[in-house]
A = this chain, B = another copy of it.
Amino acid sequence: MALAHSPDPVTDAAFTERQAAVLEVALNLLVEGGDKALTTAGLAKAANCSKESLYKWFGDREGILSAIVTYQASKVRGADERANPTTKEDFKQALSAFSEDLLAVLLSETSLALNRLSIGQVRGEAARGESAGLGAVLVDRGKRRIEARAIHLLTHGKRQRFITFDDAADAYTTLYGLIIGDLHIRALLGDHPDLDDSEHQARTRAAIDRFLTLFANALD
């Protein structure tokens, strides 16, 4: 997977520059007003475009929302896969970097808005024929990439015998849990926690220490 294709991280996704600009405005509306603040008329006015253009470009309102998610997801940087630390200290450093990135992303206002949007679209049990709709896109293009990066790092760490584990996915989930805890769900619920940067670092330090304790290579 992950062919060396990767055309253009910015102008990718078949979005005109104009369209991207409109989506950017839409995202802002979404961040500072939630789902129902994003009306077609409102977006048209805010973005200085006509409703007719919106419908020509995106089909319908659902299409606009979907486009926002897709567009934003296309901006997550590809994770420098070449980060293959050779010393245990570097490995720990790489884990810490991942942790802080994860915290920064998940608690960012735009990520929260997008997650709220996607979650709001989920209908109970029998979600249409299309499995999950928006949430699926968000998970696929957002979380999966982060997960891939982490698992790559973890597997590398295992090969280098910095850590040991049987199931990479399980190890990743544990790492995630140690880092995030219940911060994400509380942030989603509006329980605004710390935006403090040093807080993140402290949290990261504790999480990584614990993770390394759990998965330390017995040979050490």
Contacts and interface: CB of A to CB of B under 8 A. Distances in A.
Dominant secondary structure at the A interface: helix
A63 interface: no
Number of copies of this chain that the complex holds? 2
Contact of A180 (B34, B135, B182): B182
Interface stretch (A2-10, A13-21, A49-57, A113-121): A113-121
A37 B122 CA distance: 12
B210 A174 contact: yes
A33 interface: yes
A138 B189 CA distance: 9
Given A173-B181, A213-B214, A122 B127 contact: no
A186 B144 CA distance: 11
Interface residues of A, number: 50
A121 to B, nearest CB: 8
A124 B113 contact: yes
Given A33-B123, A173-B181, 20 more contacts: A32-B126, A34-B120, A116-B119, A120-B120, A122-B188, A122-B190, A132-B189, A135-B191, A136-B189, A136-B190, A139-B189, A143-B182, A173-B182, A176-B177, A177-B178, A177-B179, A178-B178, A184-B185, A188-B188, A213-B213
Interface of A: 30-35, 37, 109, 112-113, 115-116, 118-120, 122-127, 131-133, 135-136, 138-139, 143, 170, 173-174, 176-182, 184-186, 188-191, 206, 210, 213-214
9 contacts: A31-B125, A32-B124, A35-B120, A132-B189, A136-B191, A176-B177, A177-B180, A184-B185, A213-B214
Q: Which 9 A-B pairs have the closest CB atoms?
A: A177-B177, A135-B189, A132-B190, A173-B181, A120-B120, A177-B181, A122-B190, A135-B190, A32-B124
